[in-house]
Chain A
Amino acid sequence: MIIELGHFALILALVLACVQTVVPLVGASRNWPGAMAAGGPAANGQFLCLAFAFAALTYGFVTSDFSLRLVTANSHTDKPLIYKITGVWGNHEGSMLLWCVILALYAAMAAVFGGNLRPSLRARVIGVQGAISVAFLSFLVFTSNPFSRLATPPMNGQDLNPLLQDPGLAFHPPFLYLGYVGLSMAFSFAVAALIEGRVDAAWGRWVRPWTLAAWLFLTVGIALGSWWAYYELGWGGFWFWDPVENASFMPWLISAALLHSAIVVEKREALKSWTILLAILAFGFSLIGAFIVRSGVLTSVHAFANDPERGVYLLMITGLFMGGALTLYAARAAVLEAKGVFALASREAALVANNVLLAVSAFVVFVGTVWPLVAEMAFDRKLSVGAPFFDAAFTPFMVALAMLLPLGSLMPWKRARMDRVMAPLWGALALSVALGALVWVLQTGGSMLAPIGAVLAAWVGLGVVADLWQRAGKGRDLSAKLRRLKGLPRADWGKSVAHAGFGVTLFGICALTAWQVEDIRVADVGDTYDVAGYTIALDEVRGGRGPNYQTTMASIEVSRGDRTIATLQPEKRFYPVAQMPTTEAAIDNGILRDIYVVIGDPQEDGGWAVRTYIKPFANWIWAGCIIMALGGCLSLSDRRHRVAAGAARAPAAGVPAE
């Protein structure tokens, strides 16, 4: 019964989405206040319906209702409860439902918090958001209905893919979707502004928090995915330039660009049409990402719903929204006239450079991702584009970005003088070059990657410090400086923290890539050997049983000198229902290094294949991502986003004359 109600709520949500699209848009063009105001309740209603549908599907999973086709295909009674719940979005239909829930959530939030928007703009934003909901809900209802039943329910299910039964991956999709779908808000704002033909500072201020939220969720989602790949796949890589990873990385890059260009719109009323274009493209890349993941046109380790028919539908959605928005853009962009003037050396110009680098790097990733497809269709060449290409073609952009970052963040608006910008930075530059030289001397030979990474990371990090130090004002009074720092707007703190996080991630990637030590060998139980100064002892290998798997677990003691560092228990698991093995690496996490051990196969002439990795600074990669996301949170909590919410209402209440 609950399932049927959920199914009904899903269909009702589609109907409400149609209302949410048509009524406010027509109302806004005819200037009917009642019709414009109808968008809000429709959006809220649609969200409530979808939330109920989602709860109903979750109920089906938790109670193992195997009459649901989806539950049979992706669940099992022995599965731990947490993975029964996360199994809801561990498949195509359920994840698409989650996508729609989040889409409706954003529309409802725009309806609830959008009180200070112009009524026509608010109606159009909600209307465009509704149109996206219509497209995805009809996709869900007509091609991939999560509520379809089986005529004869089996006794038990086929279990969730064991690789997905993991905390890191369980929460990776919801964050990613909050990010992907969050970009739909930027898109709706852009299209609404194009229809209105008006983009001003207020628009920039409005679109920024949504973009920021989407970007920070994407950051967390990508970091979770990468961290999962690191500890779960068993060889300690953290990024594979897989098409599906690229699908999440492209919107991240574009939204990072959008984040920066929206500042220029807000503060200086320039770069308007470029910002609109970025907002359209950012969501466009989200849609392309959904297409890549779900159509299976590009072979990927992730593809989990390879169905050409669904792919065609998603391609149609992408084409429709991108075609429509870009046509509108071509017709209306000229109306958006820029106001601010600025010199070639100015923060505006630095942000333009940031945008060129981020946007082009996103397009490089895009070209690399689709090239195998293009080459096969256009030139009849079957070829691969893998990590070596992306490392070579993408890295220079990040290097240039890191080089420019401290300069740009210290530049004043309108006109900068390079000598004044550099004045507080000379120290940072000297220190970071010295650090790079030190690293180069210490490692004696080896790749240049580590020294370059150290220089760039230190330059970015010390640049942040120099920026804050300068903002604290002149003078020697430390307490006054601290007071002034405390009084800085949260957005400024957010900027500093996020930039520092970028530096940390940069350093982690370079250090790990340059200094990783690997050891592969056959070890008998009782063997002891050294890897990079650590003593590894294989103490025991035993069999065992988990709730829904069998395991072979080794016990490995890691020590340095006389001191025992950790006893690690790497596992090999086998999930009988899914007929799938997984590797559970055991990791001793540290700030300076991870010790990462994997147990392999028993060898014919006795002993076990054991792999040991010493991974320096591995955790810095994800720590940096978390710091970046924290910076985003700080910036989101800035006063002006809240003040702006009250500012528009205040005049209506009348300003008392003093």
Chain B
Amino acid sequence: MKRLVVLVWLALMPPLPALAVQPDEVLENPALEARARELSKGLRCLVCRNENIDESNADLARDLRIAVRERLVAGDSDEEVIDYLVTRYGEYVLLKPTFRGANLVLWLAGPVMVLGGGLIAVSYLRRRRPEDAAPPEALSPEEQARLDALMGDNRRL
């Protein structure tokens, strides 16, 4: 009875989107499934905002997840699966950009900036070394007079 109530309730409610990976999508072979999950995390759900297909609720993400699994069951390597999707959807589908062409700028930005920043920092630090720094300037006559006055004050106390 309770079950019936729930079912009626659900029938009245509008359809809800499915949650990420569904039980019916999961492959029997745990090794293949693990590879599918790992691949899915690097593939973008094309109609979503910055979500991978493993996490997305969209129908397209489900289709892509199933496509990935079909290719894996058919014996494709990880690279072949990725190539298969890239030829159909473009490199937009990859959450991890390729190393090709202008993307090198993206990938090399970090190492280059660290090298550059490091070099600048080291040259700065070298200039600040005690032995290289300019000797402290002598006091100007006014400063000397003020110092003498202050010291004199002190002596009087």
Query: CB-CB < 8 A to A601: which residues of B?
Result: 16, 18-19, 22
Cβ-defined contact, B125 with A349, below 8 A = yes
How near does chain A come to B108, taking the closest CB pair, in angstroms?
10
- In the bound assembly, the distance between CA atoms of A143 and B18 in angstroms comes to 38
- In the bound assembly, the distance between CA atoms of A387 and B96 in angstroms comes to 7
Nearest B residue to A361 via CB reads B110
* Stretch of A11-19, A68-76, A162-170, A339-347 lying at the B interface: A339-347
Cβ-defined contact, B130 with A521, below 8 A = no
How near does chain A come to B110, taking the closest CB pair, in angstroms?
4
- In the bound assembly, the distance between CA atoms of A66 and B128 in angstroms comes to 64
- In the bound assembly, the distance between CA atoms of A658 and B157 in angstroms comes to 8
Cβ-defined contact, A379 with B101, below 8 A = yes
- In the bound assembly, the distance between CA atoms of A642 and B101 in angstroms comes to 55
A and B contact pairs by CB, cutoff 8 A, 28 listed: A234-B19, A299-B49, A299-B50, A300-B49, A338-B128, A343-B129, A344-B126, A348-B125, A352-B124, A352-B125, A360-B117, A364-B109, A364-B110, A367-B106, A367-B109, A368-B106, A385-B95, A389-B95, A394-B110, A520-B26, A525-B3, A552-B9, A552-B13, A574-B13, A598-B19, A602-B10, A609-B19, A657-B157
Cβ-defined contact, B3 with A393, below 8 A = no
Cβ-defined contact, A385 with B97, below 8 A = yes
Query: CB-CB < 8 A to A384: which residues of B?
Result: 44, 50, 91-95, 97
Question: What 1/0 flags go to A392-421 for Cβ under 8 Å of B?
Answer: 111011000000000000000011000000
Chain B residues near A (Cβ < 8 Å): 2-3, 5-7, 9-10, 13-14, 16-24, 26, 41-42, 44, 48-52, 55, 90-97, 101-103, 106-107, 109-110, 113-114, 117-118, 121-122, 124-126, 128-130, 133, 157
Query: CB-CB < 8 A to B102: which residues of A?
Result: 375, 378-379, 381
A139 contacts B by Cβ under 8 Å:
no
Nearest B residue to A414 via CB reads B130
Query: CB-CB < 8 A to A338: which residues of B?
Result: 128
Considering the complex of A and B, which 10 residue pairs feature the smallest CB-CB distances, nearest first? Answer: A386-B95, A388-B96, A543-B9, A341-B133, A356-B117, A364-B110, A600-B19, A522-B23, A367-B109, A360-B113
Query: CB-CB < 8 A to B17: which residues of A?
Result: 581
Scoring B17, B92, B103, B114 by chain A CB atoms within 10 A of each residue's CB, the highest score goes to B114
- In the bound assembly, the distance between CA atoms of A540 and B5 in angstroms comes to 12
CB contacts under 8 Å to B, within A116-168, are none
A235 contacts B by Cβ under 8 Å:
yes
Cβ-defined contact, B91 with A520, below 8 A = no
A382-B91 contact, Cβ under 8 Å, with A360-B114, A574-B16: yes
- Total contacting residues, chain A, CB less than 8 A: 75
Query: CB-CB < 8 A to B118: which residues of A?
Result: 356
Cβ-defined contact, A240 with B50, below 8 A = yes
Query: CB-CB < 8 A to A540: which residues of B?
Result: 2
Cβ-defined contact, A603 with B96, below 8 A = no
Cβ-defined contact, A388 with B95, below 8 A = yes
How near does chain A come to B133, taking the closest CB pair, in angstroms?
4
How near does chain A come to B68, taking the closest CB pair, in angstroms?
15
Cβ-defined contact, A363 with B109, below 8 A = yes
- In the bound assembly, the distance between CA atoms of A338 and B101 in angstroms comes to 42
Query: CB-CB < 8 A to B20: which residues of A?
Result: 234-235, 611
Chain A residues near B (Cβ < 8 Å): 234-235, 237, 240, 242-243, 270, 299-301, 303, 338, 340-344, 348-349, 352-353, 355-357, 359-361, 363-364, 367-368, 371, 375, 378-379, 381-389, 392-394, 396-397, 414-415, 520-522, 525, 540-543, 550, 552, 572, 574, 579, 581, 583, 598, 600-603, 609, 611, 657-658
How near does chain A come to B155, taking the closest CB pair, in angstroms?
13
Nearest B residue to A543 via CB reads B9
Cβ-defined contact, A301 with B19, below 8 A = no
Query: CB-CB < 8 A to A600: which residues of B?
Result: 18-19, 22
Beyond A381-B101, A385-B95, A396-B110, 15 extra complex contacts between A and B, CB < 8 Å: A235-B55, A299-B50, A338-B128, A342-B128, A343-B130, A356-B117, A383-B92, A386-B96, A387-B41, A388-B41, A583-B19, A598-B19, A602-B7, A609-B23, A657-B157
Query: CB-CB < 8 A to B21: which residues of A?
Result: 520
Cβ-defined contact, B121 with A352, below 8 A = yes
Cβ-defined contact, B128 with A270, below 8 A = yes
Query: CB-CB < 8 A to A301: which residues of B?
Result: 48-51
Cβ-defined contact, B55 with A237, below 8 A = yes
Cβ-defined contact, A389 with B97, below 8 A = yes
Query: CB-CB < 8 A to B133: which residues of A?
Result: 341
How near does chain A come to B64, taking the closest CB pair, in angstroms?
14
Query: CB-CB < 8 A to B117: which residues of A?
Result: 356, 359-360
Query: CB-CB < 8 A to A574: which residues of B?
Result: 13-14, 16
- In the bound assembly, the distance between CA atoms of A598 and B101 in angstroms comes to 43
- In the bound assembly, the distance between CA atoms of A579 and B52 in angstroms comes to 24
- In the bound assembly, the distance between CA atoms of A550 and B44 in angstroms comes to 31
Query: CB-CB < 8 A to B103: which residues of A?
Result: 371, 375, 383
Partner of A242, one of B44, B50, B128: B50
Query: CB-CB < 8 A to A237: which residues of B?
Result: 55
- In the bound assembly, the distance between CA atoms of A601 and B21 in angstroms comes to 12
How near does chain B come to A405, taking the closest CB pair, in angstroms?
17
A303-B94 contact, Cβ under 8 Å, with A364-B110, A378-B102, A543-B10: no
How near does chain A come to B85, taking the closest CB pair, in angstroms?
12
Cβ-defined contact, B23 with A521, below 8 A = yes
Nearest A residue to B5 via CB reads A543
Query: CB-CB < 8 A to A371: which residues of B?
Result: 97, 103, 106
Cβ-defined contact, A542 with B22, below 8 A = no
Nearest B residue to A521 via CB reads B23
- In the bound assembly, the distance between CA atoms of A602 and B10 in angstroms comes to 9
Cβ-defined contact, B90 with A382, below 8 A = yes
- In the bound assembly, the distance between CA atoms of A525 and B1 in angstroms comes to 13
Cβ-defined contact, B113 with A364, below 8 A = yes
How near does chain B come to A626, taking the closest CB pair, in angstroms?
26
Query: CB-CB < 8 A to A340: which residues of B?
Result: 128
- In the bound assembly, the distance between CA atoms of A353 and B117 in angstroms comes to 9
Query: CB-CB < 8 A to A349: which residues of B?
Result: 125
